[in-house]
Chain A
Amino acid sequence: MSLLEDVKAKIKEELPNLDCVIGWKQGFDPLHATPHFMRTEKDVDQLIYDPLCAQNLASYLPGMKDKKVGILVKGCDSRSVVELIQEKLIKRENLVIFGLPCSGAVDLTRVNDEFGFVGRITGVNFSDGKMEITTPDGSSVLEIKDLLLSKCQTNPYASPVLCDHDFSPSGGPAICGQGESDALQALEGMSLEQRFAYWQYHMDRCIRCYACRNACPMCVCRDHCIADTREPHWLSQETDVQQKWMFQLVHAMHLAGRCTECGECERACPMNIPILSLRQKLNREIKELFDYEAGVDPEAVPPLLTFKVEEANINERGW
């Protein structure tokens, strides 16, 4: 049996004990996968799994905390599940985790760059690290490695760090975690003034839709975000770069040492703003200070959610 058939069979086996199982199905066209909440065997038959299944489904879990839920995860997604468990935002005992192998998640913006125009795609096929795209005018073949989301480059967990049903051994060689993020490296090489100009340029086109916030599995204030409230009046309703940038900084700071670098913020942005690099930067700082990585050990306490009198890497009294 193929991987997909194995997964479907296992989901059908678990389904009677669960409210639903979250996976993916084809969206409005062959290029778009969409989250799929499976409740019946017929729903399970619609399941797909390929490099277009980029959405991190863990984002739905905090809202379903008290339900018995099954969830399909790629390696990187599993880190979000673990971090949510660490922060007691979801209950391990309510979850059945289906761990999938990953051959990379495709960035539709890059497909558009490489292919030219993705509005009229009639078919997509994956084989041997290649993506074949069909339109009414013919077809082209692209290399998946040229189309990956930027998070694939940095997230080294190709296999799930926690799961109940592990399908990852049947996957091919991992192509993720091959280096540092291009955007972050470019930022590191800039002067303060250049970085400021970079963010002014990019944040100018932000439309304040907060897709970045709402797609983030670790963004837990949900309906009570300071970006929306008038009390306290931390952000005004004006659409200037100052407000937009302030929100990004608040978001990034709240994610320091919590962000699992799933890249949903950047993938969800309809204006293609490269905001993952901010979260990555803060994570690098946390790694250096606390030797900690978010979402790899369900028992670990995130360093900013606890307190130690003496931190090993912070010289507090030695001045």
Chain B
Amino acid sequence: MAAKTYLTHEDISKWLEDMSSQATVLVPASVDRAVKFVPYDAQTQIVLEHQATAPPKEAVFPQTETLLKYRYKKDTEHPETQPLEVKEDVPEDKVVVFGARPCGTRGFVIYDRVFTSDTITDPYYKARRANTAFITIACDQVENTCFCHWVGSHPADSEGSDIMLFPVQGGYLAQSVTDKGDQLIKQAGGTKASGEQQKEADTIQARVREELGEAPDISDVPASLLQIFDNLDFWNDVSAKCISCGACTYLCPTCYCFNITDEAYGLTGKRIRTWDNCMSYLFTLEGSGHNPRMTKAHRLRNRVGHKFSYYPELHEGVFACCGCGRCIKHCPMAVDIREIALRAKETADDEQSVSA
């Protein structure tokens, strides 16, 4: 493994400045007490100490994305026809996401299996993904809502990142993990990390890992969720306090459901892709008026089921959850998805012991 580079906070500022002349650099910034990723400029109030309120998911999967623009033309020679001019809008901008946590970055690894699989490739997603680099900070503290270790990750997980930064006194130890990262780290300057600094970084990582504690075994939760699929008493009970808003979904680094809508203005218009929200009544409302997910119990079942059962079943057991805990922390009613997963397992076990 390549030696790490020590970057002081000053080096980092200079590096951000340099990178922002070649790409859009997204950094977590405080906007009136909410922290979200915004394009860097020298005035930006960067917040690197804690996890951002909103993850960097808009970097690769914007909340609104124009897929194509169209225009109906008038052909006076052939008034019975209406030729249509269509212009595709594939993104080309280079983006660097700086300062996300491993959980936020790792969300895109979960997207990749969906948007860039062998059978289906989404050109918009693929283009953004290829043009985006991630410089991720390993965690130096744990929050009560953190559970990345439940879902096969850890506070220094480099999966999905191009460069990892490990917090130490006065700055970070930087380590490139991809070719993209090698290119970027060349511009960073800095000095070769000393053995002592390396030891310091390791000590911090060991402490953080220990503070997270033991993760429960959730490997049988996918099967449990299928087993209790029709147990509506369970789903009514765990969803009672849910208010069916989209805070959990829209702040989730792994939620990728979307809508496609044509927004027409006279003869012109655009086709946009926007985030969808499975907590909304409209999510599966059918044209006939029938809705297979009538109540919030059905909808919460889908959210938990998708993350902890249907997705892992399709993708080698990988959970569609990065354990960042935003859905718990920012839920106005403090709904806890960890509790629901564990109770699902417990309920399925109880059902089995009764039927045995």
Contacts and interface: CB of A to CB of B under 8 A. Distances in A.
A236 B80 CA distance: 31
A211 to B, nearest CB: 4
B199 interface: no
Nearest to B36: A205
A215 to B, nearest CB: 5
Interface residues of A, number: 50
B191 to A, nearest CB: 30
A59 B245 CA distance: 13
A239 B63 contact: yes
Nearest to A264: B332
Chain B interface mostly helix, strand, loop or mixed? loop
A14 B294 CA distance: 31
A222 B272 CA distance: 25
Contacts, number: 135
Contact of B259 (A112, A113, A211, A237): A237
B144 interface: yes
Contacts of B74: none
B249 interface: yes
A210 B34 contact: no
A214 B53 CA distance: 20
B334 A211 contact: no
Interface in A238-295: 238-240, 264, 267-268, 270-273
Interface stretch (B224-232, B274-282, B315-323): B274-282
Contacts of A71: none
Chain A interface mostly helix, strand, loop or mixed? loop
A157 B281 CA distance: 35
A207 B328 contact: no
Interface stretch (B1-9, B104-112, B236-244, B343-351): B236-244
A210 B333 CA distance: 14
Contacts of A177: none
A121 B329 CA distance: 13
Contacts of B280: 210, 228
A27 B336 CA distance: 8
Contacts of B32: 201-202, 205, 272-273
B33 A113 contact: yes
Nearest to A265: B332
B139 to A, nearest CB: 11
A33 interface: yes
A74 interface: no
A267 B245 CA distance: 13
Nearest to A268: B332
A34 B53 contact: no
A200 interface: no
B246 interface: yes
Nearest to A209: B246
Interface in A22-39: 27-29, 32-37
Given A214-B245, A228-B282, A272-B34, A120 B144 contact: yes
Contact of B64 (A34, A223, A238): A238
Contacts of A273: 32, 34
B63 A55 contact: no
Interface in B107-145: 141-145
Interface of B: 31-34, 36, 49-51, 53-54, 63-64, 141-145, 211, 237, 240-241, 243-247, 249-251, 259, 261, 263, 272, 274, 277, 280-282, 328-330, 332-336, 338-339
25 contacts: A29-B145, A32-B334, A34-B336, A35-B333, A36-B241, A37-B240, A60-B240, A120-B141, A136-B211, A208-B246, A209-B277, A210-B246, A211-B245, A211-B332, A214-B245, A223-B282, A230-B261, A236-B263, A238-B274, A268-B243, A268-B247, A270-B34, A270-B53, A271-B34, A271-B36
